[in-house]
Amino acid sequence: MTPAEMESRIVRYGDLKPCKTAFIDAHTPGSDQKENFTIIGGGVSESPDQHVHIAVPHGFNIGAAGQPPRCRNSLHSHRTAEVFFVLSGRWRFFWGRWGDAGEVILEQGDIINIPTGIFRGFENIGQDYGMIMAILGGDDAGGGVIWAPQVIKDAQAHGLVLSEQGKLYDSKKGEALPEGVGPMPVLTDEELKSYPERSARDVVPGYVARYWDMVALADKKPVKVIGAEGILRDRPGFEVDFVTRGSSVRTMHSHDRPSVLMPVQGHWHVTWEGGSTTLAPGDTMSVPENLMHTAFPSMTGAAGLYHIVATDDPAGATWTEK
């Protein structure tokens, strides 16, 4: 594969194309400054304005959210895994029917595998614009977003209606639901009983990994962060490894399916049969299946990189055999 061909599978941080109308809370005060990015796969955006950078199926989706200080993403849930790591900034993740069941603060490099079946949201509590990167299970990411009832009601008050097919209509643009198409049903009280209120004591130990703990663990070899035998034990249809300077892979190797490289610190030199390139924090590289390649830091200093590859496990609910 030539460097030009490979460049089509690299999304540089500076080339990311945001969508500010991706979800139903796009006009809701406190959430109306969000920028959403779909990097690999179709994602779960509810807007036709969302740009997809790489459409090649990987068995999972890669996305990102960029938000200024005190901007939040509203409470929602997914049927498949939703994993975030912090690229920049300081973030509060919170969960529960009203967002008050539990919370945790994450900083650069920290990663969270939020359990399926609970409402979750997140907020930039730092001083500057921040970015979190996301991995969603499955090529179709579980069929979309399930919103807490109050989010749908608040959105309607600010001109946005979500159809039963999951498409947004904006009355501020003169749009309305087509004839014969109903609004997205709000979850009933009976349905809401299946969304548990889990405390931070219950969620944080098994679903959050700290960056500097992983740096120490990955000193000699890559550490499995998410997987059946990972620090965060789960089988979401993909595995996440963390690599640092001492554990970087300098020997040529390949995978039988596409894999993804996502630096969080440092610059990484990637070579493959046909060329080489350098990745910086915020860049996302899709390595084709069966392509021999290596990745290692190109400069001195701190270096950390997440590696994601699909498994044969089906995407679905959080694995409970822990």
The pLDDT averaged over each successive group of 10 residues in the chain (322 residues) is: 93 97 95 96 90 96 97 96 98 97 98 96 98 95 85 95 93 92 95 94 96 96 97 97 92 96 97 96 98 94 96 93 56
Q: Which of 154, 180, 208 is the last residue of a domain?
A: 208
User: 3-state DSSP helix/strand/coil percent for the chain, to nearest 5?
Assistant: 15, 40, 50
Residue-level pLDDT at 249: 80
> Is residue 123 in some structural domain?
yes
Structural domain count of the chain: 2
Backbone region of residue 313 per phi and psi (left: phi > 0; alpha: psi in -120 to 50; beta: other values): beta
225 and 124: one domain? no
Range of the domain at 243: 212-310
Contact 248, 148 (CB under 8 A): no
Residue-level pLDDT at 143: 66
| Alpha carbon distance 106, 211 (integer Å) | 9
- List pLDDT tens digits, range 156-200: 999 999 999 899 999 989 999 999 999 999 999 999 999 999 999
240 and 221: one domain? yes
Residue-level pLDDT at 257: 97
230 and 163: one domain? no
Residue-level pLDDT at 142: 60
Sequence-distant (6+) residues with CB within 8 A of 41 are: 52, 54, 55, 57, 58, 60, 61, 62, 136, 139, 141
Residue-level pLDDT at 174: 93
| Alpha carbon distance 5, 9 (integer Å) | 7
Residue-level pLDDT at 236: 97
Write b or e for each residue in 119-140: b if 16 or more Cβ atoms lie within 10 A of its Cβ, otherwise e.
bbbbbbebeeebbbbbbbbbbb
| 3-class SS of residue 248 | coil
Burial class (CB in 10 A: 0-12, 13-18, 19+), 179: exposed
Q: Which of 192, 208, 224 is the last residue of a domain?
A: 208
187-190: long-range contacts (C-beta < 8 A, 24 or more apart)? Answer: 187/146, 187/148, 187/149
Look up the CATH number of the domain holding residue 300: 2.60.120.10
> Is residue 114 in some structural domain?
yes
Residue-level pLDDT at 144: 79
Residue-level pLDDT at 24: 95
Alpha helices in 133-274 (DSSP H): 149-156, 189-192, 200-207, 211-217
203 and 216: one domain? no
> Is residue 129 in some structural domain?
yes
